[in-house]
C-alpha cells in the first residue's frame, strides 16, 4: 500500500462514523427521521420532528466523518494502483476486481467532497442562521420559519448536491462487485473473461457516465423538463456498458462446466439479481414513467434488488472466495454455504420482486403504516396487504438465512477444512504461494513477484492438473525460450 | 493470441538495498542523475526512469496529494455552483411581487492586499521547495557535510509561515470591517457565501500552516533527507493550490457578486 497509515486511519474513522451514527439512537429525540437523502427543509430545521435536533446533528457528523474516511482510503487505493503495481503488471493485466476498486475510488474522491460541502451548508442552515436550502415562507408545524432564515434558499439545491454524490455512490457500491464477479465466473468456469479489455472500458465508462446523470433522481422535484431529458439520455446510455458487462458474464460461463462452489453460486446470483434489478432502471429513467413511479415501492424494488441484494451477493462472493486468505487457510463449509445461498436467493426474490407490483399499484415508499388510512388511499393500500404479508414473511426468511452464514463463519474459523495453497486454482496474485498462510518464514529473500500474463489463463483443451497458468508462473514455453542465454 | 506475453522491464537482480534508501546514506547518491556513466546505462534498473529510484516515494506522495487536491477542488466547485444557484434564485411572494433577496456584498478593499500577501507567500514557498532539491546541497548532505539544506530553506519557510499568518490576520480584519457594517454570516444570501467561502478557505490555510510548521520541525528533527524533501515538497504544492483556489474565489467574490 502506498499510504498504509492513512488507510488505517480511514478504516478507523469509518468505525468511528458508525459509532456516532449508532449513538444518535440514544440521544433525546432519537435518530434522524429524514432518511438517507436528508431532504431539506425537513432536515434543515430542528422543529420538524423528533430526531431532527441532536439526532440529525450526529447524523451529519457521522456522514462527514465517513466522507473524509472514504476519501482517505480512496487516495491510498488510487496511488497504490497507479504506482505500486508489481513488475509486469501492466494496466491490461490488472484483475477486473482491481479495476472496479480503482474506478470506485476515483468516483469516491470526486463525489464525497461534494457531499462534504453539502453537509457543511446544511450544518450552517441549522446552526449559523443561513438559508441555503430553506425556501422563503417555509411553514413547519404551522409556524412560519422565514423569520430566522433570511434569503430565498432552495431545497432543490440540496437535491443537486446530494445526488451528485448519491448517484456515484451507488456505483461505488457496485463496481468492485462487478469486477469480482467477472473474475470469479472466469475462475470457476475455467475460461478467460470474454472481452477483457472491453470490460475495463465499460468499468471506466460506467464510472464516467455515473457522474453525469444525478438528475434522474429529481425528475419530479421541479427540474426544468429540458434538463430532465438530458439526464434521461445519459441514464439510458449507462444501460449500454451495463448490458455489455452482463453479456460478458453470460458468455464467460456459456457452455462451460463450472465448479459450483458457493462463491460461484453467489457470483451467478449477482448476475441474476443485477439483471432483474437493472431492468427496472431504464423504466425509471424515463421522466414520463417516473412521474408515476417515483416514490413508490417500484423504486424500492429496483434499488434493493440491484444495490442491496446484488451488492451483498458480491460481498458474499468475496467472503466465500477469499476466506482462506484471512482465516489461516481454512475454508467455509460448502454444504452450509449452499444452504445459505439458496435461502438467501429465495428470500431476496420473494421479498423484493413483489414490491414491483405493490409499487405499480400505487403503494408509496417511506410509509410505516398501511392500514387504517381513511378514504380512497386506504382502499388502494388495502389491496396491497396480501402481497405485503408475503413480503414480510420472505424478509424474515431472508434475515434468518444470514444466521446460517454467521454459524458457518463461527464454525469454519476454528474447524473448517484446511485449504490447499490455491484451492480454487485461481490465477491472480493474491493466491501466490509466497502470500499463502504458513509460508511467510521460509521465503525471506526470494526473487520479487513478477507478473507474466493476463489473469484467468485457463487452457481449455488440456485436461488435468496443469491446465492453467497463474499470473506469477513463468513456465510457459515462450518464457523458457526467452530465458535461455541470448 | 500468443500464449504468453513477456513481462515489461523485468529486473531479476536483487536491488532491495537500493530501493529503500537508508536515510540518504545508501550506496548511491540521492539524485535522479544516472551515475553509471560510460554509457553502460546504469540507471538503477531497466525500468523507465521515474518509477523506481530515489524519487519514488516523493512522486508517490505527490500523486496522493494530487488526488486529495482534486477532491478539494470538487469541494470548492460545489460551493461555487451553489453560489451561482443562490444568486439566481427568486420567488414570487404573497403580494405577487418578484423577490430576489441577493444583495451583493461589497468586499473590503483589504482583500486586495491579502491576495498580494498570499501570492508573495507562494513565491517564498516555491524558493524553499526548489532549495530542497539543489543538487550541490543534496550531495553535500549525502556526503555527511552537515545540513546545508536546512540552513538554506529554513528562512524561506519561516517567511511563508509569517506571510500565511499575515494573510489570515488580514482576513480577520476584513471580517471585522464587514461586521462593523452589520454584514454578518446570516444577513443575506450573498453574505452567507462571502463568509462561507472565506471561512472554508481560511480553514484550509490553517491546515497549510500546520503543514508548514510540521516542515519546520522536520527540517530540524528528521535525519532522513528524503522525508524532509517530501514534507516540504507536498506542503509547498498544497500551499500553491490554496493560493490558486484563493485567486479564483477572490475573483468570484470581487467581480461576480
Ligand atoms: C441500467 C442502469 C440503471 C438505471 C437506468 C437506473 C435508473 C434509476 C432511476 C431513474 C432512479 C430514480 C427513481 C426514482 O427515484 O424515481 C433510480 C434509483 C435508484 N437506483 Fe438506479 N439505475 C440503474 C442502475 C443502478 C445501480 C447499478 C444501482 C446500485 C448499485 C442503482 C441504485 C439506485 C438507488 C439506490 C436508487 C434509489 C435512490 C433513492 O431514491 O433512495 N441503480 N435508478
Ligand atoms: Cu441514480
* pLDDT tens track for A400-450: 999 999 999 999 998 888 888 888 888 888 888 777 766 655 555 566 778
Domain A1-186+205-213 is found in CATH 1.20.210.10: yes
Query: What residue spans define the domains of chain B?
Result: 54-255
Output the CA A223–ligand 1 centroid distance in Å.
17
Q: CA-based Rg of chain B, rounded to a whole angstrom?
A: 25
Whole-number average pLDDT of chain B: 81
pLDDT tens column, B24-48: 344 455 554 444 444 444 444 444 4
Question: Do B67 and A109 lie within an 8 Å CB cutoff?
Answer: yes
> Which listed ligand is nearest to A214 at the C-alpha?
2
CA atoms within 13 A on the CB side of B241: 21
> Which listed ligand is nearest to A36 at the C-alpha?
1
Output the CA A302–ligand 1 centroid distance in Å.
7
**Judged by CB atoms within 8 Å, which residues 28-57 of B form the interface with A?**
51, 56
**pTM as predicted:** 0.89
Asked if A295 contacts A398 with a C-beta cutoff of 8 angstroms, the reply is no
Q: What is the pLDDT of residue A310?
A: 95
pLDDT tens column, A270-291: 999 999 999 999 999 999 999 9
Question: Do B72 and A83 lie within an 8 Å CB cutoff?
Answer: no
In what helix (H) or strand (E) does residue B99 lie, and over which residues does it extend? strand B98-99
**A271 or B88, greater pLDDT:** A271
Nearest ligand 1 atom, CA A243: 1
> Which listed ligand is nearest to A303 at the C-alpha?
1
Query: What residue spans define the domains of chain A?
Result: 1-186+205-213, 426-486
Mutate to test the interface with B, among A84, A117, A227, A478 (most CBs of B within 10 A): A117
Asked whether A413 lines ligand 1 (CB < 6 A), one says no
Q: Which residues of chain A have pLDDT under 70?
A: 145-151, 437-447, 460-466, 475-486
Choose one of A293, A307, A315, A352 to mutate for the ligand 1 pocket test, by most ligand atoms within 8 angstroms of C-beta.
A307
Q: What percent of chain B has pLDDT over 70?
A: 79
User: Coil, strand or helix: which one is A144?
Assistant: strand
Q: What is the CATH number of domain B54-255?
A: 1.20.120.80
Asked whether A172 lines ligand 1 (CB < 6 A), one says no
User: Coil, strand or helix: which one is A470?
Assistant: coil
Residue of chain A with shortest Cα separation from B6? A452
Q: How far is B153 from chain A (nearest CA, A)?
A: 27
In what helix (H) or strand (E) does residue A405 lie, and over which residues does it extend? helix A385-415
Cell of A354: 413483489
DSSP B5-62: -PPTT---S--HHHHS-STT-SSS-SSSS----TT---SSSSSPTTSSSTTHHHHHHH
Nearest ligand 1 atom, CA A311: 30
Nearest ligand 1 atom, CA A307: 30
Q: What is the pLDDT of residue B7?
A: 44
- What torsion do the CA atoms of B25, B28, B29, B34 make, to the nearest 10 degrees? -160
Output the CA A185–ligand 2 centroid distance in Å.
27
Counting beta carbons within 10 angstroms of the beta carbon of residue B217, is it exposed (0 to 12), middle (13 to 18) or buried (19 or more)?
Answer: exposed
Torsions phi, psi for A148 (to 5 deg): -80, -10
Q: How confident is the model at residue B14 (pLDDT cuts 50, 70, 90)?
A: very low
Alpha-carbon distance of A88 to B11, in angstroms, equals 10
Strand stretches in A86-165, DSSP E: 139-140, 143-144
Q: What is the pLDDT of residue B25?
A: 40
Query: How many residue pairs from chains A and B have C-beta atoms closer than 8 A?
Result: 149
Amino acid at each position: 500500500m502506498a499510504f498504509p497509515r492513512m488507510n488505517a486511519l480511514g478504516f478507523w474513522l469509518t468505525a468511528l462514523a458508525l459509532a456516532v451514527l449508532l449513538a444518535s439512537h440514544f440521544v433525546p429525540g432519537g435518530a434522524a427521521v429524514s432518511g438517507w437523502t436528508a431532504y431539506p427543509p425537513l432536515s434543515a430545521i430542528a422543529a420538524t420532528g423528533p430526531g431532527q435536533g441532536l439526532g440529525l446533528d450526529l447524523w451529519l457528523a457521522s456522514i462527514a466523518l465517513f466522507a473524509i474516511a472514504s476519501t482517505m482510503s480512496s487516495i491510498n487505493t488510487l496511488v497504490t494502483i497507479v504506482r505500486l503495481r508489481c513488475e509486469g503488471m501492466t494496466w491490461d493485466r490488472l484483475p477486473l476486481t482491481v479495476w472496479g476498486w480503482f474506478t470506485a475510488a476515483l468516483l469516491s474522491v470526486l463525489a464525497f467532497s461534494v457531499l462534504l460541502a453539502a453537509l457543511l451548508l446544511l450544518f450552517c442552515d441549522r446552526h449559523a442562521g443561513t438559508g441555503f436550502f430553506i425556501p422563503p415562507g417555509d411553514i413547519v408545524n404551522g409556524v412560519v420559519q422565514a423569520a430566522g432564515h433570511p434569503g430565498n434558499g432552495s431545497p432543490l439545491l440540496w437535491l443537486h448536491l446530494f445526488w451528485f454524490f448519491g448517484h456515484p455512490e451507488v456505483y461505488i457500491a457496485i463496481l468492485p462487485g462487478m469486477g469480482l464477479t467477472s473474475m470469479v465466473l472466469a475462475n470457476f468456469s475455467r475460461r478467460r473473461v470474454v472481452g477483457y479489455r472491453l470490460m475495463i472500458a465499460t468499468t471506466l465508462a460506467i464510472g464516467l457516465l455515473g457522474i453525469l446523470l444525478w438528475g434522474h433522481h429529481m425528475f419530479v422535484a421541479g427540474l426544468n423538463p429540458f434538463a430532465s431529458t438530458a439526464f434521461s439520455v445519459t441514464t439510458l446510455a449507462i444501460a449500454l456498458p451495463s448490458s455489455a458487462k452482463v453479456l460478458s458474464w453470460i458468455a464467460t460461463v456459456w457452455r462451460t462446466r463450472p465448479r459450483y462452489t458457493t462463491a460461484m453460486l453467489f457470483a451467478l446470483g449477482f448476475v441474476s439479481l443485477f439483471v432483474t434489478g437493472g431492468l427496472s432502471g431504464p423504466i425509471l429513467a424515463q421522466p414520463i414513467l417516473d412521474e408515476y413511479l417515483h416514490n413508490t415501492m417500484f423504486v424500492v424494488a429496483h434499488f434493493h434488488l440491484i444495490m442491496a441484494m446484488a451488492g451483498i451477493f458480491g460481498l458474499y462472493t468475496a467472503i466465500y472466495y477469499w476466506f482462506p486468505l484471512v482465516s489461516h487457510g481454512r475454508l467455509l463449509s460448502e454444504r452450509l454455504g449452499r444452504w445459505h445461498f439458496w435461502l438467501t436467493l429465495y428470500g431476496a426474490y420473494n421479498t423484493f420482486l413483489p414490491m414491483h407490483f405493490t409499487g405499480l399499484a400505487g403503494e408509496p415508499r417511506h410509509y410505516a403504516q398501511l392500514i387504517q388510512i381513511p378514504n380512497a388511499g386506504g382502499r388502494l393500500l388495502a389491496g396491497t396487504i396480501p402481497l405485503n404479508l408475503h413480503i414480510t414473511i420472505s424478509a424474515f426468511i431472508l434475515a434468518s438465512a444470514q444466521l446460517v452464514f454467521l454459524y458457518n463463519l463461527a464454525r469454519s474459523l476454528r474447524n473448517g477444512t484446511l485449504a490447499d495453497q490455491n484451492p480454487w486454482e485461481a490465477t491472480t496474485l493474491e493466491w501466490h504461494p509466497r502470500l499463502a498462510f504458513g509460508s511467510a518464514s521460509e521465503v525471506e529473500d526470494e526473487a520479487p513477484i513478477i507478473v507474466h500474463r493476463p489473469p484467468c489463463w485457463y487452457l481449455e483443451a488440456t485436461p488435468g492438473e496443469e491446465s492453467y497458468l497463474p499470473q506469477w508462473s513463468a513456465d510457459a514455453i515462450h518464457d523458457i525460450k526467452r530465458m535461455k542465454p541470448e | 493470441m500468443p500464449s504468453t506475453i513477456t513481462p515489461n522491464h523485468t529486473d531479476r537482480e536483487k536491488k532491495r538495498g537500493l530501493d529503500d534508501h537508508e536515510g540518504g546514506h545508501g550506496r548511491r547518491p540521492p539524485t535522479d542523475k544516472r551515475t553509471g556513466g560510460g554509457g553502460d546505462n546504469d540507471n538503477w534498473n531497466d525500468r523507465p526512469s521515474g518509477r523506481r529510484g530515489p524519487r519514488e516515494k516523493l512522486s508517490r506522495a505527490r500523486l496522493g496529494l494530487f488526488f486529495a487536491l482534486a477532491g478539494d477542488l470538487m469541494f470548492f466547485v460545489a460551493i461555487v455552483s451553489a453560489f451561482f444557484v443562490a444568486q439566481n434564485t427568486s420567488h414570487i411572494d404573497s403580494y405577487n411581487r418578484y423577490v430576489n433577496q441577493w444583495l451583493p456584498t461589497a468586499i473590503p478593499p483589504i482583500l486586495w492586499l491579502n491576495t498580494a500577501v498570499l501570492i508573495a507567500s507562494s513565491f517564498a514557498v516555491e524558493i524553499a521547495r526548489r532549495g530542497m532539491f539543489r543538487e550541490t546541497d543534496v550531495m553535500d548532505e549525502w556526503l555527511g557535510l552537515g545540513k546545508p539544506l536546512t540552513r538554506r530553506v529554513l528562512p524561506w519557510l519561516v517567511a511563508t509561515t509569517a506571510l500565511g499568518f499575515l494573510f489570515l490576520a488580514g482576513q480577520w480584519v476584513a471580517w471585522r470591517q464587514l461586521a462593523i457594517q452589520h454584514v454578518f454570516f446570516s444577513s443575506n444570501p450573498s453574505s452567507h457565501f462571502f463568509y462561507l467561502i472565506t471561512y472554508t478557505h481560511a480553514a484550509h490555510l490553517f491546515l497549510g500552516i500546520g503543514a508548514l510548521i510540521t516542515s519546520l520541525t522536520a527540517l530540524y528533527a528528521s535525519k532522513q533527507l528524503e522525508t524532509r524533501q517530501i514534507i516540504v515538497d507536498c506542503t509547498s504544492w498544497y500551499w500553491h493550490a490554496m493560493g490558486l483556489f484563493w485567486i479564483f474565489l477572490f475573483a468570484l467574490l470581487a467581480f461576480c457578486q
